[in-house]
Amino acid sequence: MSTLPADKDLASLQGLSYAETYHAAEHFRDRDHEFDAVKMGVWLFLSTEILLFSGLFVFYAVMRMLYPEAFIHGSSLLDWRWGLINTVVLLLSSFTVAAAVRDAQLGRQFWLKVNIALTFLFGLAFLAIKFVFEYYPKWQEGKLPGMFYSYPNWESPYEPLWWGLYWGATGVHASHVIIGMGLFAWLYIRAQKGHFGPRHYNAVEGVGLYWHIVDIVWIFLFPMLYLIH
Amino acid sequence: MASIPTKAGSHAHDHGHDDHSYLHPKGGFIATIWDWASTVDHKKIGMMYLVAVLFMFFLGGVAALAVRLELMEPTRVIENQATKTVQVTGQLFNTNPGSIAEGNVIYNRVFTLHGLIMVFLVIVPSIPASLGNFLLPLMLGAKDVAFPKLNLLSWYIYLFGSLMAVSSALAGGVDTGWTFYTPYSTMTDEGHWRVVMMIGSAFILGFSSILTGLNFVVTVHKLRAPGMGWFDMPLFVWGIYGTAIIQVLATPVIGITLLLLIFERLFHIGIFDPRIGGDPVLFQHFFWFYSHPVVYVMILPGMAIMSELIAVHARKKVFGYRAVAFSSLAIAGISFVVWGHHMFTSEGELAATIFSALTYLVAIPSAVKVFNWIATLYGGSIKLNTTMLYALGFLFLFSIGGLTGLFLGSLSTDLHLHDTYFVVAHFHYVMMGSTIIAFMGGIHHWWPKMTGKMFNELWGSIGFWLVFIGFNVTFFPQFIMGSHGMPRRYASYIDEFTIYHVISTYGSWILLAGFIVHLFNFVHSLVAGAKAPPNPWGALTLEWTDAASPPITHNFHHEPIVTHGPYDYDDVVPPQTKPGEFPLPPPLPAGSAKH
Ligand code: HEM
Ligand SMILES: [Cu+2]
């Protein structure tokens, strides 16, 4: 921390980048020590994310057990094709983010930036599809949560509840996508400053893992919401 | 890679650090304020938490005193037939002389405020975030927690969440109870934002709790000094470690629950609303799935402190170190499967039976700890100073609190006692009587380390006795009236209960007096206290043996190397003490067993 400026000076003297000379924060013995600690922290954080979504899945399971007809009919009103396209978009983004981590590890600065940018764009595409082709038409047709529900062709009186869960679950997921995009923007700026390299790629890896979780959650949400028969 | 400069070797000799105490001001007033506001030093962050938590304790205390004052006298409506007037007596919060309804609503808001502040702003962060932050790296021989910036972030999240909660209270308060049960939380104060704000503040405070827990888990795993194995850690660290695990694993679930509750209130998504098929009991399940584990987030740090206080001030090796350490983990584990005992009256019979059986399991590791502490005291050279008094107070009060938990955990008695003052007394014996008492003991124990000043023992003990007596006078009558059927959360009652309520209110004043004595004692110590030596109690954990009082900014001049256990009072003369001040115990007579 207090030693960073010195690192930077040395680095510029020797023509080395920040990432190549980065040592570790002062309270760690060395870089490996810090690396392990950060990795453990990231995994703990991810476990809280998994628990958060598990809570959501339990809500879903309870409600679906109580009102299966409402869920089946509600689900039939979703267009599985958009869901599938978005699944593909997120899978592609998972691939690019994994590539970004590899690039950082190998010090391929150019491809690192490309892959971070691509992941960001896939996130954006996901949201665009979600909002333009799913949220907006449903809003128009009154397929809204609970009390705001005004869609005329319902089959079960509990469909407002289904829509409540649909909006709640996809909304919480979408907010994670937005946060992820913010993180990729931050990574991109740091990548441009040459902060990442073989000796220093914690942040890329951490955000990458986060993004995989966001992805996996969608892989669960997709069949749970779109593919019930 | 030889050309790459590294700072290897910088650890043997800690270059260029200032050797000032962490409290040493950095420049002028503004510079010092900025230094604290932007610090990543775990000690400063811990101290800021301590001050904030104590301030919140004061706010919550004011609400509590108001609740007790209201309950001093039952509310009565006297209709005068002759003059056709209505008169209300015995109501503290009465704003409309002709009606009791408004006063009752205000009463609800005041006790809700009390509960919310005490639970979310005081007890949950109290020991881990203040003493834990300050001590964990010191006890482990580390320079800081694993993620110092994250630590500062969680402090600001706490500050922000607290301000949100307090402003929601200033805007009129909420009428939900601290448990946010639906439909109170979804239907009261319709059209106002303050309920959303209050739920939102609990949600935000959850992040602070998760980040602190995460930081501590990684710190314990990765930053132990050379030579310190898992079983060389002070038991305080074990307790905080167990707590941190619960914080990380339980808080996300309340996070999603509160988020859905906010959606329910704002958008009426329906999952908790029976009108469209939702289930209010589902909320209770989710709430307690978090909030039962969280009662152990509240008590484990208290237990963590206890192990230190008893060992140090009785100069004895903790009896059954591993049992005490593992019981923390056992409590953390079991706490996740007993939430249903809060819902015996609203869940099915089979579920209730299972949860009742599981609930009894929790009593086992809790009792293991209590018996081990008592065994530790046995044969020790006990010093009855303020700190030890608090430790003994804990033993006494936690026993009552824990044993009455068993009354509540058994189905047939709980049907009678549920939602009565018996429950209120139970959880005050464990939350205030145990956690706050341990917290007070801990503050006294580490006061010389944190501030570099000694406090006055006589006034400390007077404060203790006032708090201890005041506490029992306040809450013991509540067991009696609860078992006689006095329900909780009512502003009024039948005459039969008056005597208990009056005694209870008097008790709350004695408690107040006790805390005022402590406050003056602390202020006096800061202003005029004697300078504290590095190891005034002759303890053997690293914060006493290797750090100054108060510690320097980087904690240690040299990274400590652990050569003895935290409680080896039989074999080690405590470092940093005067010769002869803490002599070793006389050798045992030949042939007697050494435990
Ligand atoms: C020895 C172990 C314990 C047992 C067996 C136990 C059992 C119970 C039971 C069965 C209830 C529900 C009573 C009812 O609502 O009818 C309860 C309530 C409560 N307990 Fe405990 N308890 C124990 C320890 C603790 C500890 C250590 C704490 C906190 C530090 C705690 C805090 C609470 C709180 C806050 C409530 C009431 C919450 C509310 O309804 O507002 N308990 N306890
Ligand atoms: Cu419980």
| pTM for the model | 0.92
Q: Which of B507, B503, B484, B336 is nearest to B421 (CA)?
A: B484
Phi and psi for B76 in degrees, rounded to 5?
-130, 140
- Ligand 1 centroid to A59 CA: how many Å? 25
Is B261's C-beta closer than 6 angstroms to any atom of ligand 1? no
Burial, B229: exposed, middle or buried (Cβ in 10 Å; 0-12, 13-18, 19+)?
A: exposed
- Examine residue A30 and state whether it is found in any structural domain, yes or no: no
What does the pLDDT read at residue B3?
A: 34
Phi and psi for B179 in degrees, rounded to 5?
-85, -5
This complex has an ipTM of 0.89
Contact B268 A145 (CB under 8 A): yes
SS3 of B413-439: HHHHHCCEHHHHHHHHHHHHHHHHHHH
Contact A145 B215 (CB under 8 A): no
How big is the CA angle at A78 (ends A76 and A84), to the nearest 5 degrees? 115
Query: Is residue A4 pLDDT above 70, yes or no?
Result: no
What does the pLDDT read at residue A3?
A: 44
Full residue range of the structural domain in which residue A206 is found: 39-226
Is B406's C-beta closer than 6 angstroms to any atom of ligand 1? yes
Cβ count near B46 (within 10 Å): 25
Burial, A228: exposed, middle or buried (Cβ in 10 Å; 0-12, 13-18, 19+)?
A: middle
- Examine residue A12 and state whether it is found in any structural domain, yes or no: no
Mean pLDDT of A83-106: 96
Average pLDDT, chain B: 92
Nearest to A59 among B222, B260, B276 (CB): B260
Query: Alpha-carbon distance B571 to B49, whole Å?
Result: 37
Which of residues B94 and B218 earns the better pLDDT score?
B218
Give whole-number Cα distances, A109 to A18, A181, A191, B272, in Å.
Answer: 13, 20, 7, 51
Is B295's C-beta closer than 6 angstroms to any atom of ligand 1? yes
Distance from CA of A87 to the nearest CA of B (A): 23
Is B120's C-beta closer than 6 angstroms to any atom of ligand 1? no
pLDDT above 70 covers a percentage of chain B that reads 96
DSSP per residue, A58-103: HHHHHHHHH-HHHHHHHHHTS-HHHHHHHHHHHHHHHHHHHHHHHH
Distance from CA of A129 to the nearest CA of B (A): 23
Query: Alpha-carbon distance B484 to B212, whole Å?
Result: 42
Give yes or no for a contact between B471 and B397, defined as CB atoms under 8 angstroms apart: yes
- Examine residue A18 and state whether it is found in any structural domain, yes or no: no
Q: pLDDT category, A13, cuts 50, 70, 90?
A: low
What does the pLDDT read at residue A16?
A: 64
Query: Alpha-carbon distance B72 to B300, whole Å?
Result: 34
Query: Is residue A164 pLDDT above 70, yes or no?
Result: yes
Residue with tokens 């399940």: B285
Give yes or no for a contact between B134 and B46, defined as CB atoms under 8 angstroms apart: yes
Which CATH number do you get for residue A110?
1.20.120.80
Residue with tokens 């979408």: A174
Pick the residue of B35, B256, B555 with the most A CBs within 10 A to test the interface with A by mutation: B256
Q: A62 and chain B: CB distance < 8 Å anywhere? A: yes
Is B166's C-beta closer than 6 angstroms to any atom of ligand 1? no
- Examine residue A9 and state whether it is found in any structural domain, yes or no: no
Mean pLDDT of B523-550: 95
> Which ligand is nearest to the Cα of residue B344, counting in written order?
1
What does the pLDDT read at residue B593?
A: 55
Query: Is residue B5 pLDDT above 50, yes or no?
Result: no
- B245-273 confidence digits (pLDDT tens): 999 999 999 999 999 999 999 988 889 98
Closest ligand 1 atom to B435 CA: 30
Query: Alpha-carbon distance A148 to A104, whole Å?
Result: 48
Tell me which amino acid residue B76 is.
R
- Examine residue A13 and state whether it is found in any structural domain, yes or no: no
Mean pLDDT of B470-474: 98
Query: Is residue B97 pLDDT above 80, yes or no?
Result: no
- Examine residue A44 and state whether it is found in any structural domain, yes or no: yes
- Range with the poorest average pLDDT among A22-26, A58-62, B23-27, B389-393: A22-26
User: E-strand spans in chain A?
Assistant: none
Which of residues A71 and B88 earns the better pLDDT score?
A71
For residue B536, whether the previous peptide bond is cis, meaning omega lies within 30 degrees of 0, is no
- Examine residue A216 and state whether it is found in any structural domain, yes or no: yes
Query: Alpha-carbon distance B493 to B217, whole Å?
Result: 47
- B490-514 confidence digits (pLDDT tens): 999 999 999 999 999 999 999 999 9
Pick the residue of A44, A47, A144 with the most B CBs within 10 A to test the interface with B by mutation: A44
Mean pLDDT of B223-231: 91
Query: Alpha-carbon distance B238 to B217, whole Å?
Result: 10
Burial, B322: exposed, middle or buried (Cβ in 10 Å; 0-12, 13-18, 19+)?
A: exposed
Q: For chain B, which domains are there?
A: 29-545 (1.20.210.10)
Q: How many domains does one find in chain A?
A: 1
Pairing of strands B76-80, B85-89: antiparallel
- Examine residue A185 and state whether it is found in any structural domain, yes or no: yes
Contact A26 B143 (CB under 8 A): yes
Mean pLDDT of B393-408: 96
Q: Which of B506, B520, B529 is nearest to B459 (CA)?
A: B520
Q: pLDDT category, B12, cuts 50, 70, 90?
A: very low
Q: pLDDT category, A23, cuts 50, 70, 90?
A: confident
Cβ count near B413 (within 10 Å): 15
Query: Alpha-carbon distance B255 to A52, whole Å?
Result: 7
What does the pLDDT read at residue A17?
A: 67
Give yes or no for a contact between B238 and A131, defined as CB atoms under 8 angstroms apart: no
Query: Is residue B91 pLDDT above 90, yes or no?
Result: no
Q: Which of B387, B238, B367 is nearest to B310 (CA)?
A: B387
Pick the residue of A52, A139, A210 with the most B CBs within 10 A to test the interface with B by mutation: A52
What does the pLDDT read at residue B16?
A: 46
From B243, B360, B430, B431, the mutation candidate for ligand 1 (largest count of ligand atoms within 8 A of CB) is: B430
- Range with the poorest average pLDDT among A153-162, B212-221, B302-311, B322-331: A153-162
Q: How far is CA B289 from the centre of its chain?
A: 19
Query: Alpha-carbon distance B468 to B376, whole Å?
Result: 23
Mean pLDDT of A201-224: 95
- B181-204 confidence digits (pLDDT tens): 999 999 888 888 999 999 999 999
Is B435's C-beta closer than 6 angstroms to any atom of ligand 1? yes
Nearest to A148 among B217, B268, B279 (CB): B268
Q: pLDDT category, A12, cuts 50, 70, 90?
A: low
Q: How far is CA A137 from the centre of its chain?
A: 24
